[in-house]
A and B are shown apart, each in its own frame.
Chain A
Amino acid sequence: GQQLNQSPQSMFIQEGEDVSMNCTSSSIFNTWLWYKQDPGEGPVLLIALYKAGELTSNGRLTAQFGITRKDSFLNISASIPSDVGIYFCAGLRDDKIIFGKGTRLHILP
């Protein structure tokens, strides 16, 4: 079945550091989405990417849709405590939204 490989699985960083995570797949996707999930809550959409090569920002977040359409990355600059949570990538294809397993971000005091 279609799978998304999301890495890293978890990250421990200092407040103020930049963060980078990515998703890769063996399949092409038409749209890439990035979500953040806080404990016990539903995922919240952060950024949507619709075109290969597209680079989109949302505040301190920047995401890119890979040229091959098989990958995407998310960067967070100058991390703050409220950035803690699980970040999921998702690809849209054939009426399905397939999710990566998530990157758990921890911020050290």
Chain B
Amino acid sequence: DSGVTQTPKHLITATGQRVTLRCSPRSGDLSVYWYQQSLDQGLQFLIQYYNGEERAKGNILERFSAQQFPDLHSELNLSSLELGDSALYFCASSVVSGRTEAFFGQGTRLTVV
């Protein structure tokens, strides 16, 4: 158990809908990263937050947004969903932004039908 908690574990929704994925980082970790992994693909970096503020942005679509709350949990919002958004979404947390190893949650498997 990495200590990073993601909910829900599975999500099935229709095209055009909006969903929210939640991540609770390890106790003491200030930084949260979000990644998308499509079938048999690598991990695509979406966005990173550190202590409530956006720190780095990757290949995140405009239909996607995220935030980190004062209690350090983070949410990834995906809207106007398309079939191609079906993927595993992972969050990871680390103690200090970009300087220490990151630990991953179990992921949320999103299926858009």
Task: Tell me the A residues contacting B by CB distance below 8 Å.
Answer: 30-31, 33, 35, 40-45, 48, 88, 90, 92-102
Q: Is the CB of B98 within 8 A of A92?
A: yes
Decide yes or no: A96 and B99 within 8 Å by CB, A42-B2, A43-B43, A88-B42 being known contacts: no
Contact string against A for B residues 37-77, beta-carbon threshold 8 Å, 1 for contact and 0 otherwise:
00001110100101000011010000000000000000000
Interface size class of B (residues with CB under 8 A): 20 to 34
Bound Cα distance from A90 to B101, whole angstroms:
10
- Tell me which residues from 90 to 105 in chain B have a Cβ below 8 Å from any Cβ of chain A: 90, 92, 97-105
Decide yes or no: A44 and B45 within 8 Å by CB, A96-B56, A96-B98 being known contacts: no
Task: Tell me the B residues contacting A by CB distance below 8 Å.
Answer: 2, 4, 33, 35, 41-43, 45, 48, 50, 55-56, 58, 88, 90, 92, 97-107, 109
Residues of A near B43 (CB, < 8 A) are 43, 88, 99
Residues of A near B4 (CB, < 8 A) are 42
Residues of B near A94 (CB, < 8 A) are 56, 98
Q: Is the CB of B107 within 8 A of A99?
A: no
Bound Cα distance from A100 to B37, whole angstroms:
12
Residues of B near A33 (CB, < 8 A) are 101-102
**CB < 8 Å neighbour of A31 from B2, B41, B48, B99:** B99
Q: Is the CB of B45 within 8 A of A97?
A: yes
Between B33, B42, B97, the greatest number of chain A beta carbons within 10 A of the residue's beta carbon is seen for B42
